Structure 1
Amino acid sequence: MNAKEFQPSWFAGIMGTGIFSITSLIFSQYFSFLRSFSYFLFYLNILLFIIFLSLWIVKFFIFKKDFLKDFYHPLVSNFFSAFGAAMLVISANIQMLFNNSFSFSFGFWIAGTFFTILFGIITPFIMFKENHIKLDHICPAFFIPPVAFIVIPIPGSFFINHFQGWVNDFIIFINYFSWGTGFFLFLIMSAISMYRFILHHPLPNIMAPTIWVNLGPIGAGTTALIKLTKASNFIISKDVFYGFSFLLWGYGIWWLLMAISLTIYYSKKMKIPFTLSWFAFIFPTGAYITATHTISLIFKIKFIDYFGFIIYFLLVFFWFATFFNLLNKKTGNS
């Protein structure tokens, strides 16, 4: 891979590996070795992030025309938001793994929030003012910017009660603005996506894995809302928000079953060749697993946690299958 060919969609791999680390830590309660595995994934992810960031910086300075051209690509443009989301996932990862690394987590959150909002405005602006987007281009990849916005409060809610005065007010503002923006953009894109699924021809086989992206805003939205509600002392009646989170999580079960069914259909009907779109299998599944664990803790329903643990094995398969194929492709064995 050279810098000129580097695409922001690679940062979806950082998001996926980060959530894989988080879910592995969560389920180390069942298998203790998963804790060490979680740390391994985290350090691997940091290394990959540094490599990917370096390539992207080189592309910006040396191949700026190609860098800017990606903004006008109907699908690639959506993955600019994955850069900010990757840093947000790393921030959440640091919070869970290292109790005394507040400054590192906060730094990644600030940077991730800035780039998520920046690209979350630039990308739709270009789409709105141009006419290069066609119905054929519509797919769940368009959920990436909403997902990135929704992820902001997951690590961000942790900082609400660590500051005072205007800084505290600003952090609260950013967290609620981000969740609201991401959630309602998700609803809008869901309607457009459903329109394409029902009234247009099926997705091309290389885009089939993006069906799983729909789980991203559902899972991240559930976790973010619960974390925000717990951290917001000004919310007196928290049960209402917890109840809505439960409903949102429940909707995810339908999408999980739909994603599994459509993946089986595509794999049998037209095969699913390996591309970077396979990253779509990982983060959304991990986000929903995290939400499942969070719901089980809030409502004290152990069965739900077991359900999440079952899905975790699917995540293990997705991550290893994706990265094995990636390494195989890069070493020229496929």
Structure 2
Amino acid sequence: MAQTNALTLETLAASSLSAPPRLREMVRRFTPNWFAATMGTGGLALALNQFPFAAPGLESKLLHEAAQGLWLFNIGLFCLFSALYAARWIFFFHGARRIFAHPAASMFFGCIPMGLATIVNGFLVFGIPPWGARALVVANALWQVDVAMSLASGLIIPFLMFTRQDHSLPKMTAIWLLPVVAAEVAAASGALLAAHLPASEAFAIVVVSYGLWGFSVPLAMSLLVILLLRLALHKLPERDMAASGWLALGPIGTGALGLLLLGAAAPRAFAAAGLSGAGDVAYGCGLLGGAALWGYGLWWLTLALSKTAFYMRRGMPFNMGWWGFTFPLAVYTLATLALANATHLASLSVIGAVFVLCLAAFWLIVAARTALGAWSGALFVSPCLAPATRRAFDAGDGI
């Protein structure tokens, strides 16, 4: 009876929308995987702004303005996607909540805080010069929201995996990483935020960010071990999951970037709390740990390139998963550039520049195909509306 009432309310709400049928259907099928586009777009904006070989003067200014424009565009995307997803929960509540029972679609909840983190970082990089302290206040507030969402994603989705969803080793892919990686992305953002705050305030944020790093990275590394076993025993996943092979690079790149940024922020923050010795240790650990994780990421990057070549020979159908080509490479690129700045190794700067160019090429391809797919409506797919998911959800009486 309750299920019938929910469906009736959903039908009435849908019919009351003063929007054309096509827009109603887009809202009904809108899922969090669209926020992967904000992750990749924001990551490219931050990477472009750090391109190591931009000539001082006009060239550097133009590159900075292009990156800033991309960041502003990303804010627009994030607001649009947030409005569409909120509308789905308002007008199609019963269908929207079935996502919690879906073993793949629910993983993309982690994309929402990770997309927001790129906007937070942009306020610190692009917002402070024109807007001053107001940008810092906004960044601080958004970072706290981002931390809350990251913690919720990293706790709730794994718990649903253990209690409600149907998983098995042969069906595992790297999207399992998405809910738990959000916290380490927030940790890297916290390190950037701490660098702009008074030392007394920065200390608390640095400590919290180290906690967020620990909340995420060890768990992500354990998932990579399971993923390696799954690949050895059950080979590569289906072609429609081809881009998921790049997701393994994400927690490694973000983990390295977090250590490097936190290590840079720690000496000043810890000294203000009378722990200058700990700050020096944190700086050294950040440099060594970042370099070690960077090397580990190089192995997964090579594997991702090999898998992509394998899939390309067999055909790779386009879907929203292709955004997995962008954000993992973006954070690994940012980690490479941060390591280059810390070590002053020219070779790392060259590698970082190559990564930025590759990232820009990936983004152009994926963004163009996404725009076409969005215009045609072909990319608005909600697997949680499938009959199997509906039966699994209704059998468990919802969330």
Class of the TM-score when normalised by the shorter of the 2 chains: over 0.9
2:159 equivalent to 1:125: yes
Structure 2 equivalent of residue 292 of structure 1:
336
Deviations along 1:142-170, one digit per CA (max 9) or x if unpaired, are: 111232111112221234462576x6665
Query: Which of residues 241, 249, 274 is equivalent to 1:207?
Result: 241
Dislocated runs of 4+, deviation >6 Å: none
1:244-283 matches, cutoff 5 A: 244-268=289-313, 270-283=314-327
Deviations along 1:165-198, one digit per CA (max 9) or x if unpaired, are: 6x66653442112101111111111011111111
**Conserved 8 A contact 2:153-2:182:** no
Structure 2 equivalent of residue 73 of structure 1:
102
Q: % of aligned pairs identical?
A: 26
1:14-29 matches, cutoff 5 A: 14-27=38-51, 29=53
Unaligned runs of 5+ in 1: none
2:97 equivalent to 1:63: no
**Conserved 8 A contact 2:184-2:217:** yes
Deviations along 1:273-329, one digit per CA (max 9) or x if unpaired, are: 100100100000111110000000001101101111112221111111111111222
SS in 1 for 2:280: coil
Which range moves more in the overlay, 236-245 or 83-92? 236-245
Letter in 2 for 1:62: F
CA distance in 2, matches of 1:209, 1:131: 23
Structure 2 equivalent of residue 313 of structure 1:
357
RMSD value, Cα: 1.9
2:224 equivalent to 1:179: no
**Conserved 8 A contact 2:124-2:193:** no
Point out the structure with max Rg over C-alpha: 2
The TM-score with structure 2 as length reference comes to 0.79
2:335 equivalent to 1:301: no
Query: In the TM superposition, what is the alpha-carbon distance from 1:209 to its structure 2 partner?
Result: 0.4
The TM-score with structure 1 as length reference comes to 0.94
Structure 2 equivalent of residue 150 of structure 1:
184
CA distance in 2, matches of 1:267, 1:154: 33
Letter in 1 for 2:326: I
1:188-227 matches, cutoff 5 A: 188-227=222-261
Call closer, same or farther: CA 1:289–1:164 in 2, change over 3 Å.
closer
Letter in 1 for 2:324: A
1:101-116 matches, cutoff 5 A: 101-116=135-150
Matched residue count? 332
CA distance in 2, matches of 1:5, 1:158: 36
Unaligned runs of 5+ in 2: 1-22, 271-278, 379-399
Structure 2 equivalent of residue 13 of structure 1:
37
**Conserved 8 A contact 1:145-1:182:** no
